[in-house]
């Protein structure tokens, strides 16, 4: 690493840089919430832009805060954004054709932003770490293969059985992580290929389940939890870009009143989430990833049964 890069990395890790980032982030969140609250109480002021003219300020605020919380968990643990957010939006009455592209575009934007911030905060180093860079490229490439394969195979496999298989795999990987969370694994490229293909296939078919498999799979394959979260952010961003491109070519419509607050809320969580990863002890992250993976696997199976 040259002198300029070292200086930049040191600056990003300094206490002053961290406190300044938190202050700017807090001020921005307070300002956005204040504007939306004022608009909700005094709708005649017309503070919201034209894209949200048909959506109440209270609804925009709820979408913004929900996306912020879900993406904070996702960027901290490498999983949970789409899996948690999509059912919530369905429950409050949004149509799947509104939700899917909005979630994809928000995950694409935040995935790229989160991977950049993870790199800046030292959670991963794609420029100088050959193994991390190779894993990120491999998983991103598999996203295209998995999405295309999903379209072909989806016509021949009942979705119930596919969901059951994915749920069992996610739960099993989570159990392995919890059972061995103090153990270090050797890096195994074959494991990355297998789990990356399955995860991308599932993402292309159902829109969810990518993060738990890819993040947990990397940990089991010998990648550190902090590196795994950062790499997952980048790979999932690429996966969502592929899905979003396919959606635009097929439908060509986006619900901007949902997409913009969703994307902004998710994007605002990134600076704090990557700081959380930087300062969280690795054994806690490993245990947290294991618990989250098991929980999402169990929820997937319970959803199928009920």
Taking the C-alpha atoms of residue 148 and residue 131, their distance in angstroms, rounded to an integer, is 26
Query: Residue 184 burial (CB < 10 Å; 0-12/13-18/19+)?
Result: exposed
Buried b / exposed e across 97-132, counting CB within 10 Å, b at 16+? ebbbbbbbbbbbbbbbbbbbbbbbbbbbbbeeeeeb
Contact 210, 81 (CB under 8 A): no
Backbone CA torsion sign across 16, 19, 23, 29 = positive
Tell me the pTM: 0.76
pLDDT, tens digit, 9 for 90 and up, residues 138-190: 888 877 676 556 655 554 667 677 667 666 766 776 777 677 666 666 777 77
Distances (CA, A) of 89 to 103, 125, 255: 10, 35, 13
Q: What are the b/e assignments for 272-300, b being 16+ CB within 10 Å?
A: bbbbbbbebeeeebbbbbbebbbbbbebb
Which residues in the chain come in under a pLDDT of 50? 1-11, 155
Cα separation, 193 vs 199, whole angstroms: 10
Query: Following CA atoms 94, 80, 49, 241 in sequence, which dihedral angle do they give, to the nearest 10 degrees?
Result: -90
Residue 189 and residue 139: Cα distance in Å, rounded? 11
Token pair recorded at residue 190: 């074959």
**pLDDT at position 28:** 92
Q: To the nearest whole percent, how much of the chain has pLDDT over 70? A: 75
Report yes or no: 123 and 227 within 8 Å, Cβ to Cβ. yes
- The C-alpha atoms of residue 29 and residue 19 are separated, in whole angstroms, by 15
Note the pLDDT of residue 8: 41
Token pair 């940990």 is found at 219
Q: Are 293 and 229 in contact (CB under 8 A)?
A: no
pLDDT at 44: 74
């Amino acid at each position: 690493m040259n002198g300029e890069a070292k200086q930049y990395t040191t600056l990003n890790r300094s206490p002053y840089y961290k406190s300044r980032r938190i202050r700017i982030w807090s001020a921005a969140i307070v300002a956005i919430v204040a504007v939306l609250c004022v608009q909700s109480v005094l709708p005649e002021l017309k503070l919201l832009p034209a894209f949200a003219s048909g959506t109440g300020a209270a609804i925009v605020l709820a979408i913004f805060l929900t996306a912020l919380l879900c993406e904070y968990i996702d960027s901290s643990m490498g999983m949970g954004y789409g899996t948690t957010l999509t059912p919530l939006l369905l429950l409050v009455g949004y149509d799947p054709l509104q939700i899917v592209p909005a979630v994809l575009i928000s995950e694409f934007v935040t995935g790229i932003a989160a991977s950049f911030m993870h790199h800046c905060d030292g959670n991963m180093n794609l420029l100088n770490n050959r193994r991390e860079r190779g894993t990120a490229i491999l998983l991103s490439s598999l996203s295209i293969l998995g999405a295309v394969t999903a379209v072909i195979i989806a016509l021949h496999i009942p979705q119930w059985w596919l969901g059951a298989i994915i749920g069992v795999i996610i739960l099993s990987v989570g159990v392995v992580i919890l059972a061995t969370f103090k153990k270090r694994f050797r890096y195994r490229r074959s494991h990355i290929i297998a789990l990356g293909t399955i995860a991308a296939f599932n993402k292309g078919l159902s829109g969810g389940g990518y993060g738990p498999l890819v993040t947990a799979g990397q940990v089991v394959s010998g990648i550190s939890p902090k590196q795994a979260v950062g790499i997952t952010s980048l790979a999932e961003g690429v996966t969502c870009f592929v899905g979003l491109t396919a959606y635009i070519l097929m439908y060509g419509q986006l619900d901007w009143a949902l997409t913009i607050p969703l994307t902004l809320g998710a994007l605002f969580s990134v600076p704090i989430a990557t700081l959380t990863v930087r300062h969280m002890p690795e054994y806690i992250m490993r245990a947290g990833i294991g618990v989250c993976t098991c929980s999402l696997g169990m929820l997937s199976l319970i959803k199928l049964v009920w």
